[in-house]
Amino acid sequence: MAINSDIQQALEKIGSVTMTTLDKDTMHSRIISICGIDEEGIYFLTMHVKPFYRQLKENPQVSLCGIYPSSRKTGKNAVGQPTWDPGFTLRITGQAREILESEVKEKAAAGSGIHQYFLEDASRYPAMRFFCIHQGKGEIFDFDFEMTHRDHKVLRTRFAFGGETFSNAGARIDPDACIACGECFEVCTFKAIIPGEPHRVDGSRCDECGSCFQVCPQDAVGLSLTI
Ligand code: SF4
Ligand code: SF4
């Protein structure tokens, strides 16, 4: 699967993201700017003299996340909890590879604006090197906790690209263990429980808050999975 327009638009809105790399067994995060996105991947740059470059070359695993429009709390709700304006977070875990100069030139010559930009930047900063996250998986977590624009708080969209696969979001109810008592439906403030025999979870709405896990008399609710 290639990177779709939803991911592109989300990343373009966020602009700068935190990116984490591994230096042996220690994680390092920094804010980086996303240079461009196309169907092959997500592009960013660094200089070859930086630890960031060395970390990427020694271990291509990266993890990025960002938020739009802001992580700033904007007020308090009726029960005194902090509130945020509606928005979304995006996170991706994947593999990055360096793009060689020959490939940059070839794609620039074929009309890619991203690669043309790389060539121009390299003429100013000769130590500049270019990377592409070519394989990954992630999630867009769209939130509207005060339900300003819709009747539920969360809408999660998971995705993968470059041959990667992902697990679905949300708590999981064991259909053989569920007795349809309705306790989970009563406590779920995210409107993610679908009543029935058995009850089910709409993973796209589930915050993985654990309230249903806490109240289920049958231990029928399973923990959610890593993406
Ligand atoms: S609380 Fe447990 S047993 Fe009751 S409906 Fe929900 S999942 Fe089923
Ligand atoms: S984990 Fe929370 S949000 Fe998800 S179904 Fe259970 S109560 Fe609802």
In a domain? residue 227: no
What is the tally of structural domains in the chain? 2
Other C-beta atoms closer than 10 Å to the C-beta of 197 total 8
Once rounded to an integer, what is the mean pLDDT over residues 73-88?
A: 87
- Residue 166, domain member (yes or no): no
**Ligand 2 center to residue 200 CA distance, Å?**
10
Give yes or no: residues 85 and 181 share one domain.
no
- Closest atom of ligand 2 to CA, residue 184: 7
Specify which residues 130 forms β-bridges with.
45, 99
Would the pTM of this model clear 0.85, i.e. be above it?
yes
**Domain housing 210:** 172-222
If you take atom 5 of ligand 1, which residue's CA is the nearest one?
180
The predicted pLDDT at position 1 comes to 67
Ligand 1 pocket, residues with Cβ under 6 angstroms: 173, 178-184, 198-199, 215-216, 218, 220-221
In this prediction, residues 45-53 reach a mean pLDDT of: 97
Give the model's confidence band at 5: pLDDT under 50 very low, under 70 low, under 90 confident, else very high: confident
Find the length of the chain: 227
Residue of the nearest CA to atom 8 in ligand 1? 178
One DSSP character per residue, 72-100 reads ---EE-TTS-EE--SEEEEEEEEEEEEEP
CATH number for 215: 3.30.70.20
Confidence (pLDDT) at 81? 85
> Can you give the CATH number for the domain in which 41 is found?
2.30.110.10
Residues 73 and 49 in one domain: yes
97 and 69 in one domain?
Answer: yes
**43 & 108 share domain:** yes
Predicted confidence (pLDDT) per residue in 114-148, tens digit: 999 999 999 999 999 999 999 999 999 999 999 99
Confidence of residue 3 (pLDDT cuts 50, 70, 90): confident
Query: Could you tell me the distance, in angstroms and rounded to a whole number, from the CA of residue 204 to the centre of ligand 1?
Result: 19
